[in-house]
Structure 1
């Protein structure tokens, strides 16, 4: 049997195999993202392995002790702590348990962070070192207020020149939407479409774009 947290939890609590299988099916039926399903399964398995019992049997004392242990001496990141709570909330919700026994999970406090803003000098230096494709991509992110991942998935078919609209496919929350494009951006896109004919254009992922977009 593979030496992973999930299989360790199943080995420690055999009944957990059926529960985690049902939990996974219910998450998929509820249309949770694949990344969330993977993360929640892992977090639940870690808690089960820690206590050697099903989440259905957790008490308030168990929850408080486990979460405080995670925070003690910075044993986990804030992100890990947050997703552990989200995982437990998802388990009780989709399994129809509604936090049995009056369990109360602590609220997740979001850190207050100021936005990182580039200076005019930094922007000018960035653009001087960009290719035509990169400049166009950065311009459309700024003009249409796109998320990095949304911009990386754009296709020419998504641009409605006549309607001055941009179609964003499966943005945040897996929702489609239309956003307006300025006249200046349309001019840039039309110029780019002529100049870029036959050019090799890079393909970006969100992670690579984030290296130079705050």
Structure 2
């Protein structure tokens, strides 16, 4: 995600620039982009307008955008994903303000990073839940892992979204404005019942002390404490539990298309990254060292105490 723009930056805009910014925001809303995406793209365009000052849009071209991109990416140290968001925002700007000389199709996004996601072992997941002593916290982590939920999805779960009779929950209007059903793990049902009986939430399944949506920062904080208690050395974020859920499903033989549906991915390519992490097929590959040792043990156990290679020794 991009860093939020300080109000001080936006206050530097002229009245003419504010009009341009408002027209841009209205255009994004007309495209029905999510509110978070609109805010992110708006922030980028504030920087563009400050960079371009009050020069006419008719003079704005791809060469100018290239210079602007180089400057803002370097000064604000944008990651690859944020850089890609910036280019998307600029493409929409060119689409909206056709009087400029921008050619949106010629603006190139950098290639995505292909780093593999961190994944907990099944044993580490159990350890994590075991050392999470608070009932509410344990229920949150258990649901995030067993259903592969994003942090925003677990925060916005309502009591009405849980159907214990059918053993499922519904995630409503998540990323991409899609609903999806997810099967509840049998082992989470007593946990949910115990939690609801103890905490008595009124509307959202997990509510803050004053009601309303529970805090994402609270989840990150108690997850960090549980990681330390469980002595897990891997980098662990709420999304790691979703990565682990997907990877373990594939290792258990669940069809990739079904995993895609459970995760709510719009493209199968997004789900396929977990096939690179899953160890089911890798475990079937025998290391050449193990095979060599097995063959030697079969021939003569004493051979392992002797020099085996017949090559000339220096």
**TM-score normalised to structure 1 length:** 0.77
Aligned partner of 1:83 among 82, 85, 95: 85
Query: For residue 182 of structure 1, what is the aligned residue in structure 2?
Result: 185
Q: Secondary structure at the match of 1:64?
A: helix
Matches within 5 A, 1:139-150: 139-150=142-153
State the Cα distance separating 1:71 from its structure 2 match: 3.9
- 1:179 offset after TM fit, Å? 1.3
Q: Which residue of structure 1 lines up, in the alignment, with residue 10 of structure 2?
A: 6
Matched residue count: 206
| 1:78-100 deviations in Å (ceiling 9; x for gaps) | 2553332222122223x163984
* Shift in alpha-carbon separation, 1:133–1:173, aligned structure 2, 3 A: same
Unaligned runs of 5+ in 2: 1-6, 209-213, 224-237, 241-314
1:157 — aligned with what? 160
For residues 9-48 of structure 1, the C-alpha deviation after alignment (integer angstroms, 9 at most, x for no partner) is 32xxx53333222212222222222332223222112112
Pair 1:208–1:111, CA change in 2 (3 A): farther
The structure that has the greater radius of gyration is 2
Could you say what secondary structure the match of 2:188 adopts? helix
1:209 — aligned with what? 219
- Cα distance in 2 for partners of 1:101, 1:157 equals 48
Query: Could you tell me whether the CA contact under 8 Å between 1:158 and 1:168 is conserved in 2?
Result: yes
1:123 to partner: Cα distance: 4.9
* Structure 1, unaligned runs of 5 or more: none
Written as runs of structure 1 = structure 2, the 5 A alignment for 1:28-177 is 28-52=29-53, 53-55=55-57, 57-72=59-74, 75-78=76-79, 80-93=82-95, 95=96, 97=98, 100-102=101-103, 104-118=106-120, 120=123, 123-124=126-127, 127-177=130-180
TM-score (norm 2): 0.56
